[in-house]
Amino acid sequence: MTFSGKSSLMYIDGEWRTTKSGETFERRSPFDDSVVAVHQNGDGDDAEEAIAAARRAFDSGPWRRLPMSERRDVLCRAAALLREANGDLVRILSAEVGQPNRGEALMAANYLEYYAHLAFDLRDEALASQTPDAVGIIASEPVGVVGVITAWNGPMAQTAWKVGPAMAVGCSVVTKPSHLTSTAVLELARIFDEAGVPPGVFNVVTSDREGGAVVGQVISASHDVDAITFTGSTATGRKIAAAATGNLKRVLLELGGKSPNIIFADAPSLDDAARGAYNGVTLLAGQACQSGTRLFVQESVHDAVVERLTEIFRTEPKLGNPLDPTTTIGPLVTAAQQSRVLSYIESGRAQGRVAVGGGAPSDPALAKGHFVQPTVLCDVPTDNRAVREEIFGPVIAVIPFSDADDAIRMANDTEYGLASGVWTSSLDTALRCSKEIRAGTVYVNTYRNSGLFTMPFGGYKGSGLGRELGREGLEEFLEKKSIHIKLGPVFARDRARLNG
């Protein structure tokens, strides 16, 4: 059961187009290597056309000049269309990403709706009392043309939480989706078109791996792009930031992570903590920047947690076709990623031990897919590459610690600072760890499933710049303008009278 492949076009200036070169590329299923899509292989010239369309749309088009209520209504229509198309989008997302992806389109709809209403409620500030003959207005205005470069592991949700706030405040957008998962973003373009987004406001340039680097660099370096938002690796984020310095454009980067998840002996439930650790590293088969891949467990409960964790990792995963409703974990996104993850497991095995998992599954039904068994590593030194580097696979390393000082020190011993978790019944311990761990997100007695979907998200250190989601995610696409208004002679005369 695979999603049937189809040819697609790029979306530029409200039109569906082929590339100037006429070249295309295939996306093959990570599960069985069948062709799931054929995309246009765009290049720098196509990117320039999309940028020009977005520039025209922002400078002279109607979108940013519409009443906020009309932009809100268009984005809410798009959200409704996403929900209507959810069945088809589930199949597209699962086929291309390779993982069960049953809620992402609905998540994208929620983000569009949230930002549509949040932008409608934007309020400027006024300074009316500093002096009697002047009023100051602090106005918020859209930053302009926004370049959006998304990763493959959550293509529709990532795009929605970037373009939702940008478009809601009046920006226009040029999007370069991952070459591995372009169909979902093109479907979003179709939905925006149907919802009434004007030409040039949302543009999509697709390209293969090599061409994608070219397109991304053109967007990042363009003087006609006012801001760039990127999700992906830290190495690529640095290149984008360097390219963006030409016109000092605003840069928003959501990058890698090597997140610590800390279980104290007084955790409310060791069963819940072990299951939280499992969920924190198996979503999208661990191909998520927030994955809690370093599990620190207090020494007195270390063995008990490892026992629970091993049982969960052995019995819970159901590897299979991502389109099968019984599957919980699908194949990794590419053969290269599978090889990379297996090499990390071997590195951990060489210096420690594998408690469960440890390789590709032996089931012949899975032989064509890029599968890796969910794996627990134990007794691995903290300088091992499986502990130091981002793996992007379903692999967790369990590391014992003595006390809170020890846990915090090891948690912060990383170039990253994206997410973290703390399991404890002590409010003091929870707050102390939350204050001292250098990460943009701290989960307490949960990991990634608190239900709070509008909290700001971003990282410290090598995990990025800026914040997405929440009100902070909207502010990233706004410029502040100070307007000084000197009042007329009547006010000056009244002031003179008051001064005697």
**What span, in angstroms and rounded, lies between the C-alpha atoms of 168 and 304?**
50
Beta-bridged to residue 478, according to DSSP, are: 142
- Centre a 10 Å sphere on the Cβ of residue 481 and count the other Cβ atoms it contains: 11
Q: And the tokens for 392?
A: 């992007």
Task: Give residues with Cβ within 8 angstroms of 239, minimum separation 6.
Answer: 217, 220
Nearest to 370 by CA among 406, 402, 416, 322: 322
Q: And the tokens for 227?
A: 């801001």
Q: For this structure, is 289 an active site residue?
A: yes
Instruction: Give the per-residue SS3 of 256-312.
Output: CCCCEEEECCCCCCHHHHHHHHHHHHHHHHHCCCCCCCEEEEEHHHHHHHHHHHHHH
Catalytic residue (choose from 49, 96, 187, 289) = 289
Q: And the tokens for 68?
A: 């906020």
Beta-bridged to residue 246, according to DSSP, are: none
**What span, in angstroms and rounded, lies between the C-alpha atoms of 314 and 233?**
30
The three-state secondary structure class of 35 is strand
**What Å distances lie between residue 287 and 78, 176, 195, 329, 330, CA to CA?**
28, 20, 32, 11, 11
Between helix 44-60 and helix 209-221 the angle, nearest 10°, is 40
Tokens 């846990």 identify what position?
Answer: 407
Tokens 């940008």 identify what position?
Answer: 166
**What span, in angstroms and rounded, lies between the C-alpha atoms of 486 and 481?**
16
Catalytic residue (choose from 49, 113, 254, 468) = 254
- 443 within 8 A of 420, measured Cβ to Cβ: yes
The three-state secondary structure class of 360 is coil
- 314 within 8 A of 356, measured Cβ to Cβ: yes
**What span, in angstroms and rounded, lies between the C-alpha atoms of 197 and 189?**
9
- 376 within 8 A of 398, measured Cβ to Cβ: yes
Q: For this structure, is 254 an active site residue?
A: yes
Output Rg (C-alpha) for the chain, integer angstroms.
25
Phi and psi dihedrals of 171, rounded to 5? -75, 160
Active site residues: 254, 289
